Amino acid sequence: MSGYTIITGSSSEDVRFPLEAGAGSDAVHTNPIYAYAVCKLKTKAGWEGVGLAFTLGTGNDLVCRVIDHLAQKIEGREINELMSNFGTVWHSMAEDPNLRWLGPHKGVIHLALASVTNACFDLWAKSRGVPLWKLLIDLSAEEIINTLDLSYLEDELSREEAIAMIEKESAGVEERKMILNSGYPGYDTSVGWFNYSDEKVRDNALRAMDAGFLAMKLKVGSNDMQRDIHRVELVRKTVGKDVDLMLDANQQWSLPQAISICSVLKDISPLWIEEPTHPDDLLAHYRLAKEIHPIKLAMGEHLPNRVVFKNYLQSGCMGYNQVDALRVGGISEFITISLLSRKFRIPVVPHVGDMGQIHQHLVLFNHIVLGHEVVFLEHIPHLSSKFRNPVKIVDGCYQLPRSPGSSAAFLK
Amino acid sequence: MSGYTIITGSSSEDVRFPLEAGAGSDAVHTNPIYAYAVCKLKTKAGWEGVGLAFTLGTGNDLVCRVIDHLAQKIEGREINELMSNFGTVWHSMAEDPNLRWLGPHKGVIHLALASVTNACFDLWAKSRGVPLWKLLIDLSAEEIINTLDLSYLEDELSREEAIAMIEKESAGVEERKMILNSGYPGYDTSVGWFNYSDEKVRDNALRAMDAGFLAMKLKVGSNDMQRDIHRVELVRKTVGKDVDLMLDANQQWSLPQAISICSVLKDISPLWIEEPTHPDDLLAHYRLAKEIHPIKLAMGEHLPNRVVFKNYLQSGCMGYNQVDALRVGGISEFITISLLSRKFRIPVVPHVGDMGQIHQHLVLFNHIVLGHEVVFLEHIPHLSSKFRNPVKIVDGCYQLPRSPGSSAAFLK
């Protein structure tokens, strides 16, 4: 058997999907295409490991080239042996002395590491014939921690603490497995893309309610603040009081703008305000969070690694943690950040560069094993026809994925 | 004349120099080569604009590809017209909606922006037949600020404030021009590369003193703390009390390690301790700076952009600002960060990915125009035979560069 689970070769693929007019648009990204830098790990068996990193097209080829470079380092390794100590492997790739200069731990090189890492987890689950969520929830605390790199977190999360955290949560695991029957709730992120007209926003909001979603998101951050407020009020009027509304500014505001606009938007009681300003500006978020209390800030879509997440959590300004396993260094660093977030009691509500394909597995793990509360998982429908096993939403809930692996493969 | 100063085409070059055994080594980079992603801007005149970004080899080609992409956007522009409003051009390149995903403002894409930006400044100076420092010190406050992008700094530095800062300093400009006669002091960074033997470190320290350097740097951050202390004491014994010693850990420590090791190293009274831990860990630096007061922390070599520098300055933990115009978005963002640093009264002592070629111009500008105090500029001699106009050090001081441009061109 084991000969079939050796990584015999690797390759990258540059996959790009143009979007329909207006879809995916926000205050910063006016005409996006969705692109994936795909890592493929070959075996002698019939299946391969597939990993994804997400980009908006330009430069996707650069990520692919770094994938080629990194994936070579794990060729010849047996997947179960590799994953038994994956934290060390990941560390050596992340700390490559020369590549490191191009980060460290951010940008093109870190996106490539995400794709390679995600391919390893996909292959690992496939080698055991189980969906990723099942693989992950059946691991021991020690096996989980062995897949992580906890360096630069020594002030907050030692290996021993991390193991103890998971073991402490084990008492509630069986009860939390109920989520496998009910399905994890989703929220509709496609109600109010930036370029959509009022009619389209209203129709989308109604359609989202009909589909069972109890939360939806609207893009804000236009130059005309009145337009933002108008759109928010339009949706609130359309869906009523019982639906959660989230507002996403996509880094469009300066701190003074954010303070002044959010002080108005907070009257509409959004569940969160997302990416108000530059993602590197920890102190601006810290100040803004104080100003708009009790409204929460959500961020993480553009935070590159566990060190930055640690700072955001330590500072207390992160209300919702939107880590994306296709932005940070893959599933491994996603789990590390989820552990940190659990310690600080901040919910993880991932940004889904993967359209939820991989994250539907990860939120189940976060809830069942780490004891994270159930919130809801972003749902972006635009590429559902492209995946081999697209996410399935019924009554606003993600249905349990059952095929082996991480659901990352595209149709041929 | 003006036809000769139109950018008629652009290209990138991937230039790599292997180093002698041990040179350039530190706690993280065991066997580096020095590489440059070069941007060349062509004109009908005999000269071209040359810009540099620095890497350690692997991935240098990726930076070149992004340079090709970005430089196309300024082809056909006349250089004086371009630079009269360069802040806007720079902003539009930095905020490219799709490329931005690969950062924002960090990693491969931002290194490419550095190279393109540096080529523009080089071409600008050449088009006027003057060295870069001369171009810069003769600009009006408004002309300087027009080359900058101050977005995301609104909470600290408005356009009006920036202009007022420069105008306020203008009273002392003539006096500060004395530096043009004396030369800007250097410090020797090559005394104690990580892999050098005791003998070599001692010989280098003596040679540095003979060459007139009054400050020198030593790499620390080995697994064996005793080795670090031994090397520091060796150099202190060799050079006596009157030479400043700086210690560079190259991000090798966790926060708890840094606290414990620095509490010992502070007894040796280093002028600064550089890059103690991960460059993204603002809060770790903040805590460490408090612990080791009055010893200062130096950082900036790996800080990617003005937003991160703003946070480091706001937090008060940055004792010396080591911004590198080949890491942040080129000379434009270097000046922005120097302005911010002036506001916070923190000296700028650049890291010199360019071996000081470009930075020898920039520290003159910082002192004469922005009123920054004279500290000293890092000197790394390893590539002096490769540049067309290599820096010249006499009695430990950089001699005034006199050829037109930014001294960035390599020998053919």
Q: Out of B101, B251, B283, whose CB is closest to A311?
A: B283
Dist CA B374 CA B5 (whole Å): 34
| DSSP assignment letter at B379 | E
Is the Cβ of B92 closer than 8 Å to some Cβ of chain A? no
Tens of pLDDT, residues B230-286 = 888 999 999 998 999 999 999 999 999 999 999 888 888 899 999 999 999 999 999
Cβ–Cβ under 8 Å, residues B91 and A91: no
Q: Residue by residue, what is the 3-state secondary structure of chain A?
A: CHHHHECCEEEEEEEEEECCCCCCCCCCCCCCEEEEEEEEEECCCCCCEEEEEEECCCCHHHHHHHHHHHHHHHCCCEHHHHHCCHHHHHHHHHCCCCHHHHCCCCHHHHHHHHHHHHHHHHHHHHHCCCEHHHHHHCCCHHHHHCCCCCCCCCCCCCHHHHHHHHHHHHHHHHHHCCHHHHCEEEEEEEEECCCCCHHHHHHHHHHHHHCCCCEEEEECCCCCHHHHHHHHHHHHHHHCCCCEEEEECCCCCCHHHHHHHHHHHHHHCCCEEECCCCCCCHHHHHHHHHHHCCCEEEECCCCCCHHHHHHHHHHCCCCEECCCCCCCCHHHHHHHHHHHHHHCCCCECCCCCCCCCCHHHHHHHHHHCCCCCCCCEEECCCCCCCECCCCCEECCEECCCCCCECCCCECC
Using DSSP's 3-state secondary structure scheme, residue B18 falls into strand
pLDDT value at B298 more than 80: yes
Is the Cβ of A234 closer than 8 Å to some Cβ of chain B? no
- Residue A193 sits at the vertex; the CA angle it makes with A190 and A195, to the nearest 5 degrees, is 150
Nearest Cα to Cα of residue A122 among A151, A166, A82: A82
pLDDT value at B1 more than 60: no
In chain B, which residues have their Cβ closer than 8 Å to the Cβ of A304? Answer: 106, 280
Cβ–Cβ under 8 Å, residues B255 and B287: yes
Segment 250-309 of chain B within 8 Å of chain A by CB: 251, 254-257, 277-284, 287, 302, 304-305, 307-308
A58, B99: Cβ pair inside 8 Å? yes
Among A351, A359, A361, A372, the active-site one is A351
B59, A101: Cβ pair inside 8 Å? yes
Tens of pLDDT, residues B337-374 = 999 999 999 999 999 999 999 999 999 999 999 999 99
Active site residue A200: no
Cβ–Cβ under 8 Å, residues A399 and A212: no
pLDDT of B28:
67
A255, B58: Cβ pair inside 8 Å? no
Q: Which range, of A191-195, B274-278, B301-305, averages the lowest pLDDT?
A: A191-195
Q: How confident is the model at residue B23 (pLDDT cuts 50, 70, 90)?
A: confident
pLDDT of B190:
82
Is the Cβ of A31 closer than 8 Å to some Cβ of chain B? yes
Which residues lie closer than 8 Å to B254 by C-beta, 6 or more apart? A151, A152, A154, A155, B277
Tens of pLDDT, residues B90-115 = 999 999 989 999 999 999 999 999 99
Nearest residue in chain A measured CA to CA from B68: A59
Candidates A105, A278, A305: best to mutate against B (most CBs of B within 10 A) is A278
Q: Which range, of A186-190, A337-341, B97-101, averages the lowest pLDDT?
A: A186-190
| DSSP assignment letter at B348 | B
B281, A98: Cβ pair inside 8 Å? no
B282, A311: Cβ pair inside 8 Å? yes
Q: Which two tokens stand for residue A265?
A: 């938007």
Cβ–Cβ under 8 Å, residues A282 and B314: no
Mean pLDDT for A199-211 is 93
* CA A287, chain centre distance (Å): 25
Is the Cβ of B314 closer than 8 Å to some Cβ of chain A? yes
Q: What is the largest CA-CA distance in chain A?
A: 63
Q: Which two tokens stand for residue A304?
A: 């590159």
Q: How confident is the model at residue A2 (pLDDT cuts 50, 70, 90)?
A: low
Segment 147-176 of chain B within 8 Å of chain A by CB: 151-152, 154-155
Among B126, B134, B351, B379, the active-site one is B351
Instruction: Give me the DSSP letters along B238-296.
Output: HH-TTSEEEEE-TT---HHHHHHHHHHHGGG--SEEE--S-TT-HHHHHHHHHHHTTSE
Is the Cβ of B224 closer than 8 Å to some Cβ of chain A? no
Residue for token pair 């403002």: B105
Is the Cβ of A92 closer than 8 Å to some Cβ of chain B? no
A62, B65: Cβ pair inside 8 Å? yes
Dist CA B300 CA B168 (whole Å): 27
Among A134, A219, A367, A379, the active-site one is A219
Active site residue A219: yes
Q: Strands B296-299 and B377-379, how do they pair?
A: unpaired
Mean pLDDT for A130-156 is 98
Q: Out of B55, B155, B282, whose CB is closest to A284?
A: B155
Dist CA B119 CA B113 (whole Å): 10
Output the average pLDDT for chain A: 95
**Domains in chain B, start-ordered, CATH in brackets?**
2-129 (3.30.390.10), 173-398 (3.20.20.120)
CA distance A362 to chain B (A): 23
Q: Strands B272-274 and B244-248, how do they pair?
A: parallel
Report the percent of chain A where pLDDT is more than 70: 98
Q: Which two tokens stand for residue A371?
A: 């004891």
Dist CA B386 CA B382 (whole Å): 9
pLDDT of B2:
59
Nearest Cα to Cα of residue A407 among A49, A106, A23, A84: A49
Tens of pLDDT, residues A211-270 = 999 999 998 887 788 888 888 899 999 999 899 999 999 999 999 999 999 988 888 889
A278, B152: Cβ pair inside 8 Å? yes
Q: Which range, of A26-30, B49-53, B104-108, averages the lowest pLDDT?
A: A26-30
Q: How confident is the model at residue A189 (pLDDT cuts 50, 70, 90)?
A: confident
In chain B, which residues have their Cβ closer than 8 Å to the Cβ of A101? Answer: 29, 55-56, 59
Dist CA A367 CA B385 (whole Å): 60
Using DSSP's 3-state secondary structure scheme, residue B208 falls into helix
Most confident among B32-36, B116-120, B291-295 (mean pLDDT): B116-120
Output the average pLDDT for chain B: 95
pLDDT value at B29 more than 90: no
Q: Which two tokens stand for residue A196?
A: 């959509």
Q: Strands B184-192 and B397-398, how do they pair?
A: antiparallel
Size of interface A-B (CB pairs under 8 A): 173
CA distance B153 to chain A (A): 7
Mean pLDDT for A96-112 is 96
pLDDT of B224:
82
ipTM of this predicted complex?
0.96
Q: Strands A215-219 and A272-274, how do they pair?
A: unpaired
CA distance A280 to chain B (A): 6
Report the percent of chain B where pLDDT is more than 70: 98
